[in-house]
A and B are shown apart, each in its own frame.
Chain A
Amino acid sequence: MQHEEVTDEAIVQRVQAGDTGAFETLISRHRESVFRIVERHVPRDRVAEIAHEAFVSAYLSLRSFRPTHPFEHWLARIARRCCCDFWRERGRERDLQGEPRAAGDERPRTAALEIDPRAGSEAKQREAREILEWAFARLPLDDRLVLALVYFEELSVKECAQVLDWGESKVKVRAHRARERLRRLLASLAAEDGKRP
């Protein structure tokens, strides 16, 4: 006999009807994808905590879920929103404590600029990540968020607007400006690198 898997939407209905335990099936199904989203956005030591918040937040907002869209997409939006909230909260804490936003002035090496046939190597990836962290540390929070969502995750303007709770035109304008700022930073880094012996 063929076993038919219960859909996410059917499980959501069970949870909405009071079967809280059924939510565990949704966690089991989607925890990997939620971790995958969160680990791109927040420091490694905070991934589990933010993923936890994402599922609790999803449970608490379950009544706003409409089965016209896949549950996975809805959950992904909540996970991204939790990541954005994490950075906003951290930004507020830093403002209160008077901490500088960009720690350390040391520029990363930019060998990642060079065309290298072994570009997929672990060392190259690590180097590119260092450059990314360096650049992100120098961008305003909203620029980082919109860049991450629009250019790196390639969300649509509409999806990004939903995650950030912005209007679509604001997303377009901010994304464009943020990308220009990133490009200027990268260009300055490349120019600096060109001057090095």
Chain B
Amino acid sequence: MNERSQSDDLEARLKEAWRQAPRAAVPAGWQAGVMRAIRARAGAGLADPRLHALHRTIFRGVAAAAAMALIAAGFALRGDASAETELLRLLALDPQALLELVLVF
């Protein structure tokens, strides 16, 4: 038997062994334990993925608006325009810093 067909044969046997894994019995009281955990969480209500998406969108919108306001305020205060431009360039290169800046404000 060549090496490749030996490997094929062993691979097939491993697949069979995988499928025939020894069965684990459902322990007594397991189902009651699951239901206790679920009832404990039921008070918080089911998570709605659409709500999470909405929260994410709102947060991103607020962060973007805050960043724009910050930059506009800098220009309005008639400071050195080149400094704002430099800040804008640095923030564009490092979105993490932009987020941190927004969180600070």
Contacts and interface: CB of A to CB of B under 8 A. Distances in A.
Given A39-B21, A39-B24, A187-B3, A31 B31 contact: yes
Contacts of B20: 125
Contact of A63 (B30, B34, B42, B46): B46
Interface stretch (B4-12, B61-69, B81-89, B90-98): B4-12
Contacts of A59: 38, 41, 46
Contacts of A129: 17, 21
A190 B6 CA distance: 8
A186 B30 contact: no
Contacts of B103: none
B15 interface: yes
Nearest to A44: B24
Interface string A115-140: 10001000011001101100100000
Interface string B30-66: 1101110111011000111110000000000000000
The secondary-structure label for the interface of chain B is helix
Contacts of B105: none
Interface residues of B, number: 35
A17 to B, nearest CB: 10
Given A35-B24, A62-B46, A27 B6 contact: no
A186 B26 CA distance: 34
Nearest to A193: B6
Contacts of B17: 125, 128-129, 131-132
Given A40-B21, A47-B24, A128 B14 contact: yes
A166 interface: no
A30 to B, nearest CB: 11
A154 B34 CA distance: 29
Given A38-B24, A63-B48, A129-B17, 4 more contacts: A20-B38, A24-B31, A59-B41, A151-B15
9 contacts: A21-B35, A56-B41, A64-B49, A125-B20, A128-B14, A129-B17, A153-B18, A187-B7, A190-B6
Interface of A: 16, 20-21, 23-24, 27-28, 31-32, 35-36, 38-40, 44, 47-48, 51-52, 55-56, 59-64, 110, 112-113, 115, 119, 124-125, 128-129, 131-132, 135, 148, 151-153, 182-183, 186-187, 189-191
The 7 closest A-B pairs by CB, nearest first: A128-B17, A47-B24, A152-B18, A20-B42, A39-B24, A129-B17, A128-B13
